[in-house]
Chains A and B, each alone.
Chain A
Amino acid sequence: MGNIIEYIKMAFKNITANKGRSFLTMLGIIIGISSVIMVMAVGDGTANAMNAEVQDLGSGQINVYCSDNAANAQEWITPEDLMALKENVEGVDGATPNDGSSGTTITGKGEFSITLSGGTEDLQKSLNFMIKRGAYFTAADVEEGNRVCVISDSDAKRLFGSDDVVGMDIEVTIGPITGSYRIVGVTQQKENTSFISYTYEGMPVSLEVPYTSFETFGWESDSFYSVVVFANDQASGEEVVRDIIHTLETRHRCAGEDYFQIQSFQDMLSEMNNILAIVTTFISCVAAISLIVGGIGVMNIMLVSVTERTREIGIRKSLGAKTSSILLQFLAEAAILTIMGGIIGILLGLLGAFGACNLMSASMGSAISPGIKASTILGATLFSCGIGVFFGIYPARKAAKLSPIEALRRN
């Protein structure tokens, strides 16, 4: 097979001798490969951008719920459980109840509906907001059940027309009871991104308060349906989750009862990624069909070429070309056509991906750059080569099997 370079040269000669036809043959492959590359690059790029934003929102955040089983057994997560999780589970930085309520407040700017998120001081880990003024409420505030709150600068402006509000009071009415919350901190509201909306039109004013302060409004604050645990970056997600469940089950003596359920941020993220991957794969499959059609186009042209060049094949055979030589020459031709088509397709696909991402970035207001993976490009190249060889086999065999006498007889 030392002659393989010669066969490749012959194939190149034939391809360049029929430039127009070669290009048309490649067109199907070009379209197929470029659409696959483009879809995959845009899909990966979108996933990357989304992941980056969502990671920013709350990586390492693990939600722990009480299941229906626990509710039936009247088992809830307690403040002591939270302490135990923080102290006993390695990798856990904080834990807070995820308690909430809603009410109204009236200020000089009018009446506003209001949501209160009750937690420990660890609640500040949940949305890594920047503190703009003042400070977050403290463990002591939680301990004493102080009615203090943290508000975002944009909400402060809605309520008071200014974000310089530390030390001011907000009268919060929940049900029949009104209580006054003192503002101790102002956070900087995050801008909305392509995938996450932090604010929306008509959104209630949001306050973060010590969960113990809810006692003012007449309900106990010693058992929770759901809590949030914060794992640090070094912790392995699965291990932390296992330890959390183990600790809770030990404390409630309910091993195997399935009382506590976990939803970690990673789970949600990978779920989202799965959905995106399915969509990308689906679109890629549709695009891949055009590749197969392109492959059939290559086969078709190669068959025509075999018929047209029957005499040439006869000449070559009479001069000593073996069956394998002819086979290789025609296979090389099909492979080169599809590889060239593949390369042009990759370039066009990348170009298209950049174009599409620019358009998307412009319309969504955040930067999406195409996710270009070496594996995608390598895969596309190999795939196009594979198509060339696969769809080239039939015509090449047909050519190689011609008898030299028959072939020479034809014009």
Chain B
Amino acid sequence: MDNLIKVQDMCKIYNPGENEVRALDHVNLEIERGEFVAIIGHSGSGKSTLMNMLGCLDVPTSGSYYLNGKDVSAMKDNQLSEIRNQEIGFIFQGFNLIANLTAIENVELPLIYRGIGRSQRHKLAKEALIRVGLEKRIGHKPSEMSGGQQQRVAIARAIAAKPPVILADEPTGNLDSASTEEIMGILKGLHEAGRSVILITHDNEIAEQAKRVVRILDGKIVEDYYNAEKKAQEA
């Protein structure tokens, strides 16, 4: 079986020409199903660009990207939308919930775009909200919830359609430490339940909670290790 994610020789160049910026410089990366990977880097390191590529929000300038066996590097906008809908569950730093929709309506959004019927949609969304412990908040709007709760709604939205990849971009960046712990707990739980989780962060402490760490600097991968192995070495 193919890798879940297989990035080969991927480059992303902004402003090609004199002032070009190589945000990604010949990146190679493979991620297996069921892994819990943290991609870590400073701002400007290219981790956001990599996240956009992995999340099929953008296409690389060169190189290839296979997601779940599909070559997505040459896809058009609408095909990318479909891939995002079916393969990826996004969790963003700023939660990115739609303000005038209730928790369950927010969770149902990707299911609507997938064309799932109303009752099935409702069932899946409710399951996901129960999974993140928000069954009592399904009718609440984002403004009526705390940051941690909003991020849990976002997680529910990411997992409701059961996509193969959960892509979390600084999911705890806007949260206090208690909520951070809560969210990381949920992500770990998802990983333990067999989901593939990719976490993008600048925070070493957060990255240490993942199984594998990929460090990116100036558009290149400079480190790629398993936390357990590293700890063993250090010990």
Contacts and interface: CB of A to CB of B under 8 A. Distances in A.
A321 B96 CA distance: 15
A405 B92 CA distance: 12
B96 A311 contact: yes
B57 A318 contact: yes
Given A17-B100, A311-B96, A312-B98, A317 B115 contact: no
A101 interface: no
Given A14-B100, A405-B58, A320 B78 contact: no
A403 B55 CA distance: 13
Interface in A307-366: 311-312, 314-325
B100 A3 contact: no
Interface in A201-236: none
A322 B113 contact: yes
B114 A320 contact: yes
A311 to B, nearest CB: 7
B100 A320 contact: no
B100 A13 contact: yes
Contacts of B174: none
B115 A3 contact: yes
Interface string A245-271: 000000000000000000000000000
A324 B79 CA distance: 12
B109 interface: yes
A108 interface: no
Contacts of A324: 78
B222 to A, nearest CB: 24
B81 A323 contact: yes
Interface in B56-103: 57-58, 77-78, 81-82, 84-86, 90, 92, 96-101
A23 B57 CA distance: 36
Contact of A317 (B52, B81, B98): B81
Interface string B7-50: 00000000000000000000000000000000000000000000
A14 B96 CA distance: 17
Give the interface centre of B58, B78, B98, B110 by most chain A CB atoms within 10 Å. B98
A321 B113 contact: yes
Interface in A1-16: 2-3, 6, 13-14
A320 B81 contact: yes
Given A312-B98, A405-B52, A322 B58 contact: no
A386 B87 CA distance: 38
A89 interface: no
A60 interface: no
A370 interface: no
Q: How many of chain A's residues touch chain B, expressed as a range?
A: 20 to 34
A233 B110 CA distance: 69
Nearest to A326: B81
Give the interface centre of A2, A316, A319, A324 by most chain B CB atoms within 10 Å. A319
A404 interface: yes
A6 B105 CA distance: 11
B50 to A, nearest CB: 13
B112 interface: yes
A249 B97 CA distance: 88
A408 interface: yes
B157 interface: yes
Nearest to A7: B112
A232 to B, nearest CB: 66
B19 to A, nearest CB: 19
Contact of B109 (A14, A311, A319): A319
Interface string A347-391: 000000000000000000000000000000000000000000000
A316 B57 contact: no
B115 A320 contact: no
Give the interface centre of A311, A322, A403 by most chain B CB atoms within 10 Å. A322
A316 B109 contact: yes
Given A13-B100, A312-B98, A405 B110 contact: no
A322 B78 contact: yes
A318 B77 contact: no
Interface in A162-194: none
Nearest to A319: B110
A194 to B, nearest CB: 55
B90 A318 contact: yes
A320 B82 CA distance: 6
A405 B50 CA distance: 12
B81 to A, nearest CB: 4
Contacts of A323: 77-78, 81
B57 A321 contact: no
B110 A320 contact: yes
A404 B85 contact: no
A323 B96 CA distance: 19
A318 to B, nearest CB: 5
Contacts of B97: 315
Given A2-B115, A3-B112, A319 B90 contact: yes
Given A316-B109, A405-B52, A321 B81 contact: yes
A359 B193 CA distance: 77
A407 to B, nearest CB: 10
Nearest to A318: B90
Contacts of B101: 13
Nearest to B108: A6
A348 to B, nearest CB: 29
Contacts of B113: 3, 316, 319-322, 325
A312 B98 CA distance: 6
Given A2-B115, A320-B110, 10 more contacts: A13-B100, A17-B100, A314-B96, A315-B96, A318-B90, A318-B96, A319-B113, A320-B84, A322-B82, A324-B78
14 contacts: A2-B115, A14-B100, A314-B96, A315-B97, A315-B109, A316-B98, A318-B57, A319-B157, A320-B81, A320-B84, A320-B85, A320-B113, A322-B77, A403-B58
Q: Which 4 A-B pairs have the closest CB atoms?
A: A320-B85, A320-B113, A319-B110, A17-B100
